[in-house]
Amino acid sequence: MISAGEWFKFERVNASELTEIHQALAAVQQTVGTLTFPRCDQDDVFELIDRVETELHSTHPNVQVIGTFLNSIARSLRAQPEAREACMVLEDAIEHAGFLSTWQSGI
């Protein structure tokens, strides 16, 4: 089991990391709109994106929520070949922010 301290290396995510996460989410949102998977799956990804954006704009972003949802978004997209680039953009944002990357587990 992963302890709370293992999810991120910093207590706070800095402004450049928050910007990178936001840009990654914008790329994912654009990609998801072009994918050929069920609409309900697209809606689920959009809902996760909205939740991360809410955290990014809060006074004290919950880094655990952000890390968990970024991994969940990437995990939802990983089976879609046309979403590979978006997954890698998310991976970069996850890595740069110091979050534990778990979305590729079990592949």
pLDDT of 15 above 90: no
pTM of the model: 0.85
Q: Rounded mean pLDDT of the chain?
A: 87
pLDDT of 26 strictly over 90? yes
Judged by phi (left if over 0) then psi (alpha if -120 to 50, else beta), residue 106 lies in left
Percent of the chain at pLDDT exceeding 70 = 88
Transcribe 37-83 into DSSP letters.
S-HHHHHHHHHHHHHHHHHHTSSS--HHHHHHHHHHHHHHHTT-GGG
Q: Nearest-5° angle of CA 64, CA 79, CA 90?
A: 40
Give me the mean pLDDT over the 46-74 stretch: 94
The arithmetic mean of pLDDT across residues 72-97, rounded, is 94
